[in-house]
Chain A
């Protein structure tokens, strides 16, 4: 068949557009080269739904952020994933800068913004250092699981006729008679229109499509994850700098605490955590907060933000009007994604008809967990099996982890990883040694050679 649309890149932007196209009643295929969706920037960011005061007024970032913030709440409800408006506060002593940020927020159309007094600030953030006096409080900011958001959008899309192709590495594009044909290693897909939102892989796709390429830069952000705690109950930012929003302390939607990110320009896509990065986070956090529960530190990770100049690029290609280019989606990309999808589908592709009603996706959590597999996060066998049987194939350890949180807790999978491998192997008819952690060659274990009789 020839799909109406193909979306290339299974991050939050790709899955949002995929979902939106399905809502317009059109056929769509989502292409992802990795073994799961949301394995790039989408899996490794702060998980914040920003209010929208930070982006420069008039920029695409400002526009999509504010609109996206509006759209997320209903979307999350529909997708049966948790979302909470916990609020955010920028803290500092430079009241002029805070006022300027407030002004910008008002100009961007952000609602419920407020400069708070020292007293109010203490109430909002009891663990803030005494030296810090003022804050800009944004009530509309919220928390979501970025990967679960993307996965749920895709699952709903698939449940309503969309197609997701994982592990699809495009080798070749041909374009004739208004039809694109993409060739993977052992698969072909044909479509009429293409969205390139391949994130770090944007230029590779553009080259194959023979459309514009952009100078993409990588910026690495390291994070520390703390086990469940009420250390902060809302996202606490420092005053922003040229490098970004700075190191924040925020709860996650699942109750953990996230400290970070750092901002380091790097040449290659490299997700290492480093001494410098972790030290930077620790020294900043220790100087800004008290009672930091670092004894409950459970993990560090780093995520890559791509950038092309200061703003997002969301536009039709000048070389081929059937191609939409989306590049440089860094913060507030997660918040903006639903708004970018709306703009791309309704404005750029002119799909103006009303959204159709979709069959809802099923939650993995239906109150019957069964035998508990992940003890730290209390995740049961039934929940894992539901994730394994969900509409988007889920066959790596990390894919299971993103969906149900098995292995996300304080023992970091020490107790349940092999059990999860067993369930994956059983579901997909694999041997234990065929199960992968995340990517194609990330085998968890090997056969013992002479071992098996």
Chain B
């Protein structure tokens, strides 16, 4: 499989294949690239970011680790249904969302004046 590493802005061109039962990544220039290549081959994952708008403020949030790419839409649905509450940056909004092991964390709060 040929792919582009998304771990940093360099965007290394990765080549991933299975050799003797082992996943081999080439083209990476750092260990994160290897890890990404393996994950992309087995279960592609992405960090999900979004914002939720309330009347008087907007919260931006992210999953603290990448989650199964196919679960992005379902995760979003769950995130969008959170209740209005006072949060600070860094607070966990949803723990272990959809059993992915990822927490949804507040990244920013904007006042809508």
Contacts and interface: CB of A to CB of B under 8 A. Distances in A.
A62 to B, nearest CB: 56
Contacts of B82: 453
B91 to A, nearest CB: 17
A276 interface: no
Interface residues of B, number: 9
B95 interface: no
A452 interface: yes
A399 B83 CA distance: 38
A63 B4 CA distance: 72
A450 interface: yes
B52 interface: yes
A453 B81 CA distance: 7
B53 interface: yes
A451 interface: yes
Contacts of A453: 52-54, 80-84
Contacts of A452: 53-54
A25 to B, nearest CB: 46
Nearest to A450: B80
A426 to B, nearest CB: 10
Contacts of A450: 77, 80-81
A450 B52 CA distance: 10
A419 to B, nearest CB: 11
A452 B77 CA distance: 12
A450 B53 CA distance: 11
Interface string A410-453: 00000000000000000000000000000000000000101111
Interface in B55-96: 77, 80-84
Contacts of B84: 453
A175 B51 CA distance: 59
Nearest to B83: A453
Contacts of B53: 448, 451-453
Highest count of chain B CB atoms <10 Å: which of A448, A451, A452, A453:
A453
A363 to B, nearest CB: 27
Contacts of B77: 450
A361 B13 CA distance: 66
Contacts of A451: 52-53, 80
A452 B83 CA distance: 11
A235 B48 CA distance: 56
B56 to A, nearest CB: 11
A446 B52 CA distance: 16
Nearest to A449: B80
Contacts of B80: 450-451, 453
Interface string B6-27: 0000000000000000000000
A452 B112 CA distance: 13
A228 to B, nearest CB: 31
Contacts of B54: 452-453
A134 B113 CA distance: 58
A384 to B, nearest CB: 15
Given A451-B52, A453-B80, A453-B81, 14 more contacts: A448-B53, A450-B77, A450-B80, A450-B81, A451-B53, A451-B80, A452-B53, A452-B54, A453-B52, A453-B53, A453-B54, A453-B82, A453-B83, A453-B84
Interface of B: 52-54, 77, 80-84
10 contacts: A450-B77, A450-B80, A450-B81, A451-B52, A451-B80, A452-B54, A453-B54, A453-B81, A453-B82, A453-B83
